[in-house]
Amino acid sequence: MANFILRKAESKDVSDILRLIKVSKVGDMVQHFVDLLEDGFGDHPFYHCFVAEVPKDQQSSEGYTVVGFAMYYFTYDPWIGKLLYLEDFYVMEEFRGFGIGSQILKVLSETAVKTRCSSMHFIVAENNTQSIDFYKRRGASDLSLEEGWRLFAIQKEELLKITAK
Amino acid sequence: MNFKIRAAIKDDCKDISRMIMELAVYEKMSDQVKISHKELERDGFSSNPFFQCLVAEVPEENKSKEGHTVVGYALYFYTYSTWKGPSVYMEDLYVMPDFRGQGIGKSLMSQVAQVGKEKQCVRLQLAVLDWNTPSLDFYVSKGAQDLTASEGWHFLRFDGEALDELANEAPKD
């Protein structure tokens, strides 16, 4: 098996994207179907998406032809300008080892260069050694290790306290 | 001291660029600053801006030693989580040293949080350098959690040669 295509996601792909997100996440709190649709295909998209699709005769054991996706958007670094930020990237287990992940990464890089982005950024959990190795093999650097950057988040409850002051 | 927080306009880019460099010097990475006010004007003030910016301004009579009235800024944009939806990412928050301790940083951040709240963002994220104790303390006091410590998140990037090499291997159709 080696036949697959990578294409821009369309609104009809949202249910497949949601399925892949749920499969890839261990935790709960996954976006409701309606939000993904509005947030990606409404007036002001928050994200862009590619999907990997196989022909019908190679569909997954449950009958799916959309077998991988990558979600990204543009962010900004005041030192170097526009960046492409890779938010999510997943290929179904039974379709791994065929180069789908590599191709997705390459298309993302090409998109970054075409859209004048100096760099492609993303975050990975340090215990996800498989992913870290995948990225490092392709030339990624770990800014947390090399420069000491730490990711912080202020959740909604605490945010509301800040706005109240 | 009186100060005002307002949305940045195109004309503020020279001041913002000046302060970006000051922040980079503080972070000991000033050699990494490659863009000027021109790129900020193009990227932040077109019909499709890639960032938003707030500035803090003081009256003429309180201007800095070099004559600046724009004395602080916050640069932010929206990100998206497949788990939780839109978030605000505060990329830069900076107040000139002579103007600290007056609540300017707090007000800038409060405004960013307010914008996030209006856009239904579920959280505000930011990155801090591990040795930057004053900033770490400031953000933790506002309720920030260190996700690198608690969940092991690392920032990775492909840039320069690594990015070009990856892109050149992309299928041409």
A138 belongs to a structural domain: no
Is the CB of residue A34 less than 8 Å away from at least one CB of chain B? no
Among residues A43, A17, A42, the alpha carbon closest in space to that of A30 is found at A17
Place of tokens 């290790």: A145
- For B26-58, what is each residue's pLDDT tens digit? 989 999 999 999 999 999 999 889 999 999 999
pLDDT bin (cut points 50, 70, 90) of residue B120 is confident
B123 belongs to a structural domain: yes
Residues 6+ apart with CB under 8 A from A95: A4, A52, A54, A60, A67, A68
- For A40-90, what is each residue's pLDDT tens digit? 999 889 999 999 999 999 999 999 999 999 999 999 999 999 999 999 989
Is the CB of residue B76 less than 8 Å away from at least one CB of chain A? no
Domain span at B53: 4-146
pLDDT bin (cut points 50, 70, 90) of residue B173 is very low
Known active-site residue B78: no
Mean pLDDT in residue range A93-122:
91
Tell me, what's the ipTM?
A: 0.89
What pLDDT does A160 receive? 83
B153 belongs to a structural domain: no
pLDDT at residue B75 is higher than 80: yes
Mean pLDDT in residue range B95-101:
95
CA atoms of A156 and B90, how far apart (whole Å) = 15
Mean pLDDT in residue range B142-146:
90
User: Under DSSP, is residue B171 helix (H, G, I), strand (E, B) or coil?
Assistant: coil
Facing residue for B147 by CB, picked from A143, A151, A158:
A151
B173 belongs to a structural domain: no
Residues 6+ apart with CB under 8 A from B11: none
Q: What are phi and psi of B22, to 5 degrees?
A: -60, -40
Mean pLDDT in residue range B150-167:
84
Look up the pTM and report it. 0.89
For residue A57, the domain's CATH number is 3.40.630.30
What pLDDT does A85 receive? 94
CA atoms of A70 and B19, how far apart (whole Å) = 35
In this structure, which long-range contacts are made by residues B27-30, counting pairs with CB atoms below 8 Å and at least 24 apart in sequence? B27/B129, B27/B132, B29/A79, B29/A147
A32 belongs to a structural domain: yes
DSSP state of A3: -
Is the CB of residue A119 less than 8 Å away from at least one CB of chain B? yes
A139 belongs to a structural domain: no
Tokens, residue B131? 């040795």
B113 belongs to a structural domain: yes
pLDDT at residue A26 is higher than 80: no
B165 belongs to a structural domain: no
Which one-letter amino acid corresponds to residue A136? Answer: K
Task: Look at chain B and report how many structural domains it folds into.
Answer: 1
Domain span at A114: 5-122
